[in-house]
Structure formats: structure tokens, C-alpha cells
Amino acid sequence: MYICGVKLNKMDMKKGKQIGLLIILLWTIHQFTCAQSERQYKKWILKSSNVKIHIDSFSIRSAYNLNKNTILLFGVSEKQFKTGVEVIQYNNKIKKISYKDISGGSEDFIYPHFYNTDDTLDPQIILCTSGADYTYGVTVYKIIKDKIEKIGYMNLALNVNLEKYRSDPAPYVIITTNGKTITFSFKKTVATNFQNDNERIYKAGHIKYFYENGKFTKHTQ
């Protein structure tokens, strides 16, 4: 057999085949190791947007530039019979809404928190804390290729004295991923159904949320 004008005997071909199989094996091991290694999310800084946008009765509380043409808007719906917090992805180039999510209720504030990893293949994460007077819960969104999607809701808040501290748990979140599962836990004591009769308190790390295969689940200990 000739390759590039060089004649190869059977032993050369056998060695070449073995080297090829070894390269494939090493590449497979590398891919598996990368997929299984745990990566931690960190705060992701987005630049605030000062673009003036009017959308029906939507009152904008904060806005951020996701990219050159896309703006993320966070605010409150002020319709007479449909209040609540709202998240909007707005295409400023064509002046149209590309995504909209409203949580109808008595919430009157919404605070977005952004997170990502060093791996560009991992989805970016937004935690939106909302409530009135105190935190009712945290809505979780992911962004892949500049498209936002709601993936779950965490019905919890920091278990704190409301006269002294804010009850937003998002600044104390720990988010990790191994490429298949995204895990959310907290480094401070939190409570589900905060300030309600069925409130339950969890020490740091004793409540976790998992996002895997399109499902968002809660696990406690």
C-alpha cells in the first residue's frame, strides 16, 4: 500500500491503525472527563440599557443589554386586573418582543441576578427574585444562544429578620453543572413559604434544586 508515494508494509499499517485507535480512545476519555467535571457559575455582569421603550402598561424597573440588538426588561404589569412581575426579551432592531413571561399576582418588585461559567456551551442563568415587602420566591431562566427560557421556580427566601435584612436569597446561591445537571443550593439558611403558616426552614446546603432533562426538581434533607 502506498500513502503519499511511500510504500507501507503490513507492520507499518498495523502500527498506524493502533495509533489511530489510541488517538480515538484518548479523545473519548477527554470528552467524557470534560462532560463529568463540575463547573461553578459566577456572577455575570450585563451592562444596563438606557433605551426608552414603551410597552402597553408594563412599568420597566430595570433593563440590560444582552447583545447589540437584544434587551432584557424586568418590571411590573400595571393592568387593572392583571398585576404581577414580568420578564421581556425585546429585539430593539425590529422593535418587537421575542419572549414574555408574566407571573400574575401581588408582587411589586423584581430583582434579576445573572450567572455564567467559563464554558460557552453552558447555558447562562438568570435568577429573578420577586415579591412585595419580602421575597415570595425566585424564578429561574436559562439563556442559550441569546434565547431565554423559564426552567423553574424556587418558593423560598432567606430566613432573616425583615426589620434588619433583605430576604433575597439569590446573592447567596451556589450554582454548579457537570454538563448534564445544573444544581442550585444556598450558603445561608433559607425558608420555603416564607412568612406563611406552612413555612419550613432549611440550613445552608439542606435544600437543593436540580435541572436535568428539562425538569426542575427539589430535594431536601
Q: For residue range 40-70, list pLDDT tens digits in order.
A: 999 999 999 988 888 888 899 999 999 999 9
Distance CA 105, CA 135 (A): 13
98 contact partners, CB below 8 Å, separation of at least 6:
70, 89, 90, 91, 147
Q: What is the pLDDT of residue 161?
A: 96
Structural domain contains residue 192: yes
- Distance between CA 204 and CA 191 in Å, rounded? 10
pLDDT of residue 69: 93
Strands 70-79 and 82-91: antiparallel
Q: How many C-beta neighbours within 10 Å does residue 149 have? A: 14
Q: Specify if 99 maps to a domain.
A: yes
Cβ–Cβ under 8 Å, residues 85 and 103: yes
Tell me which residues of the chain have a pLDDT lower than 70. Answer: 1-36, 80-83
Report the pLDDT value the prediction gives residue 84, as an integer from 0 to 100: 82
Range of the domain at 152: 45-220
The answer to whether position 8 is within a domain reads: no
**Is the full-model pTM beyond 0.85?**
no
Q: Which residues lie across from 92 on neighbouring strands?
A: none
Residue 38: inside a domain, yes or no? no
Q: Residue 25 falls within a domain, yes or no?
A: no
Residue 5 DSSP label = T
**Number of residues written out for the chain:** 221
H or E segment to which residue 132 belongs: strand 124-132
- Quote the CA–CA distance of 193 and 169 in Å, as a whole number: 13
Query: Are the CB atoms for 169 and 138 separated by under 8 Å?
Result: yes
pLDDT recorded at residue 56:
83
Is residue 6 one of the residues assigned to a domain? Answer: no
65 half-sphere exposure, CB direction, 13 A CA radius: 10
Asked if the structure places residue 49 within a domain, the reply is yes
Q: Is 155 in contact with 135 (CB distance < 8 Å)? A: no
Domains: count for the chain: 1
Distance CA 22, CA 12 (A): 15
What pLDDT was estimated at residue 89?
Answer: 96
